[in-house]
Amino acid sequence: MSRFKKLSQTIWHCQYHIVWTPKYRYKILKGKIADEVENCVRAFSAQQGAE
């Protein structure tokens, strides 16, 4: 599989790595809230076509 994506008139290669870290790395997302945030991020990423 090519690392480049293509449309009819465009070829591109995008790489993003998103890291969300609170100040001092305290674990502020725990339990059900952490699960819900993870589900929301995954759903939004899927809508945007992220891999």
Give me the pLDDT at residue 10, please: 84
Query: How far is residue 17 from each of residues 3, 34, 47, 49, measured CA to CA in Å?
Result: 16, 20, 17, 15
DSSP assignment of 1-51 equals --SSEE-SS-EE----------GGG-----HHHHHHHHHHHHHHHHHHT--
pLDDT digits (tens, 9 = 90+) for 4-49: 777 888 887 777 767 777 777 777 788 998 899 889 988 988 888 8
Neighbour count for residue 29 (Cβ, 10 Å)? 14
Quote the pLDDT of residue 39: 92
Q: What is the structure's pLDDT at 2? A: 67
